[in-house]
Each structure stands twice: as C-alpha cells, then as structure tokens.
Amino acid sequence: MRSLLRRPAVVLSAGCLVLLIGMGLRNSFALFLTPVTEHLHWTREEFSLGLAVQLLVWGLAQPFAGALADRYGSGRVVLVGGLSYALGIGLAAQAYEPAHFGLTVGCMGGMGLGAAGFAVVLAAMARAVAPERRSFAMGLGTAAGSAGQFLLVPITHVFLQAHGWANAYLFLAVAAALMIPAAAGLSGRPEPVPEDVRGSVGAAVGEALRHRGFVLLMCGYFVCGFQLAFITNHLPSYLTDHGLAGATGALALSVVGLFNIAGCLWFGALGGRRSRKHLLAAIYAVRAVMIALFVLTPLSTATVLVFAAVMGFTWLSTVPLTTGLVEQLFGPRYLATLGGLVFCTHQIGSFLGVWMGGALYERTGSYLVVWWTACALSALSAAVHLRIDDRRGIVAVSFVVEPNPARHAS
C-alpha cells in the first residue's frame, strides 16, 4: 500500500486535488465582500484586512511549512493544513466581528494554505517525477489550482445566493475537509541525502539569499502577489460599482480560472525548453498592457471577459516558472523551503494589494490608484526578471540528489 501511494501518478493526482480545492476556495472569498459588509455593516477595509491577514499568514507560514515538508514529507504537513483551513472557514460562519473574521479566515485559513499550498505540494510533485518532467508536473499542479477557481467560484456564487453567506462558509469548510484524505497521496519523504549535508537547510537558505537572481525573483513575485490578490478580492465589487450585474464578477473569476488552466499547462511545458526568466518577463509585460487597457476602456461585459481571459492565461502561470527557476538555481532537495521563502514575498505583495484596495477605496471612493499602481509594478517586474542571473548556485551542486530513474517507471 505504501509503495502504491508513492507512485508518481498517485502523488500527482493527490497534489492536483489538494491545490484544486485549496486555491478554488481561496478565490471564492471575494464573493462574500458585498453580502458580508452589507449584512454586518462592516467597511470594505475591515473585510479586506481579514483577507489580507490570511494572505500574509499564508506567506509567513510557507518557509516553515516547506522546511517541515523537506524533513518529514509533504503528506503530514498537508494534513495539518487541510484541517486548519477547514476549521478556519467553518468558524467564519459565526464571525460577526472583523476581529473574529481575521482570526478564522485570516489566521487559521492562512496557516492552512501555508501548509497545503503551492510550495509544499509542488515540491512533492516535482520530486515524484524525473528531472525532465518537473516543469510540466509543476504546471499541472498549478493548472489544477486554476481548475478549482473555474469550478468552485460559480458553485459558491450559486450557493451564496440561495443560502446566505453563513451557510456558504459551512459549504466551503466541508469542501476544504476533502484535502485531509488527499494528503495520504503525498506521504512519501524527500530523497535521502549524505549525512554531512542532511541538516543543512540553513546553508541552503543562506546561499539563496546571497544569490542575486533569487533576490530579484523574490522582488518580481511580490508584484505578482499584489496584482492577483487585488484583482481576485476587489474585481467583483469594482464591477458592481460600475453598474454591472453581481454575477459578472463571479463569471470573470471563473473565466480567469478556465484560461489559466491552459496558461499553466502551456508555460509549465514551455518552461522545460525555454528561458524561464524571459517567459516571466513576457508575462508581466502582458499584464501591464492589459491592466492599462482595462482601466482606459469603457466597462462592459465583453471587455470584462476579454480582460479576464488574457489575465487568466498569465494568472498563475508564474508559479511553475518561478518554482522551476528556484529548482534550476538550487536543485530539488530544499525546494519546498526555498519555494516557500520566495512565495513569502508573493504573499506580502498580496497583503498590500488586498488591504490597499479596501483602504484606498474607503478614502477616495475609487480603485483607480491601485489599478495604476498594479500596472506600473508589472512593467517594473518585467524589467527586473530580465536582470535575473539564472546560473546554478553552489547549493544546487552540493545538495541536489537526483532520484533513481527506475523509480519513475510506470
């Protein structure tokens, strides 16, 4: 039974299921902004701060969850993460004060996503396959997260309209609990390493932080988090503010998820053959152009769907490329730890994107400043990625232990 659970197909399937549920539910929270704030008389800033806390805790938890996964295996870490995520969402049904919302969906949900998020799961998926298939495996996992957004956002919208926000939180909690049994498929441990480097995670982190390419990658990922979190959490309300139907926001987020399935698979496969830093630069350049056009063009259902489709194609496509670039620089041994570290900056950007969206809206009555900030940062990120030194660091030579090719036979 244990050998069956460690087969590549099982690991990939389990990883995809965890990310489908986790990311799908995460992108559904934006639908609660208007009904929760209107029913409980909160401001958008108060609701946004709770989601921003989730993103920040998620990011801060990632390096620690990654280190535990690198040492003890991803399965145990994902199991704890799924439990925390489900409890946090379920308790949010009784969160009638902003502080309670911050503790449940914010802190508990953030810790759950940190333990069952991209860094931990993608590292397990990458280590389960041969080196030449790692980029595609990470693209597959990221595409599963987008499939969750495509599937679960509209389902959540329907449930929310039919049963109210409190019952909808309970529905999301039950769905999140399905991550717990899926963790069994990620139960294998990382490949063993020689005794003299077995406890050298600190050396790996130190080497990464001294690597110029890694630092620039962290800066670029900050921008990605800022953009995605702002759009995910404020686009539905932005559209209703401009007179579009409430269902348009849910439809737009669903379209983002649909087109990102293709984008993740495309860039995941392309990342195994082309320069990942150049692909990342192209993604951020396209985003800058699309945001500018979206702000300058009169809003309609058609323009929203075009924006969602193009942004969707580049949405989480940065994840397999960024994680793959970390693996390219430093090897797979401490991929969960180093991937979690770089993802931490993504979530700091996410925190600012969500919180600034709500705060500036309350002060100015508009999201315009945040839209143009996201556009400018995207152009800057494109330039930053072109400057990344993507040559392998010393850690990759010292710590990488490639798996036995026979282990990947079907």
Instruction: Tell me if 154 is assigned to some domain.
Output: yes
How far is CA 351 from each of CA 48, 85, 134, 356, 402, rounded to the nearest angstrom?
A: 9, 18, 30, 8, 36
Q: Tell me, what's the pLDDT at 110? A: 92
Q: Tell me, what's the pLDDT at 406? A: 38
Specify whether the CB–CB gap between 355 and 233 falls below 8 A: no
Radius of gyration of the chain from its Cα atoms, rounded to whole angstroms:
20
Q: Tell me, what's the pLDDT at 1? A: 45
Instruction: Tell me if 53 is assigned to some domain.
Output: yes
Specify whether the CB–CB gap between 177 and 55 falls below 8 A: no
Q: Tell me, what's the pLDDT at 398? A: 45
Q: Long-range contacts for 98-105 (Cβ within 8 Å, ≥24 apart)?
A: 98/42, 98/46, 98/47, 98/49, 98/50, 101/46, 101/47, 101/50, 102/49, 102/50, 102/53, 105/29, 105/50, 105/51, 105/54
Instruction: Tell me if 405 is assigned to some domain.
Output: no
Give first-to-last CA distance, the chain, whole Å: 16
Q: Tell me, what's the pLDDT at 112? A: 94
CATH for 134: 1.20.1250.20
How far is CA 22 from each of CA 12, 45, 81, 212, 390, rounded to the nearest angstrom?
A: 15, 24, 10, 32, 31
Instruction: Tell me if 409 is assigned to some domain.
Output: no
Range of the domain at 97: 2-188+200-400
Provide the number of structural domains found in the chain: 1
Which residues of the chain, if any, have pLDDT below 70?
1-6, 188-200, 391-410
Instruction: Tell me if 347 is assigned to some domain.
Output: yes
Instruction: Tell me if 301 is assigned to some domain.
Output: yes
Q: Tell me, what's the pLDDT at 409? A: 35
Q: Tell me, what's the pLDDT at 200? A: 67
Give pLDDT tens digits for 190-244.
Answer: 555 444 344 467 777 888 888 888 888 899 899 999 998 899 888 988 898 888 8
Q: For residue 101, give every residue at least 6 positions away whose Cβ sits within 8 Å of its Cβ, in sequence order, or none.
A: 46, 47, 50, 92, 95
Using alpha carbons, select from 95, 124, 92, 93 the residue that is nearest to residue 109. 92
Instruction: Tell me if 195 is assigned to some domain.
Output: no
Instruction: Tell me if 407 is assigned to some domain.
Output: no
Give pLDDT tens digits for 102-148.
Answer: 999 999 999 999 999 888 898 888 888 887 788 788 888 888 888 88
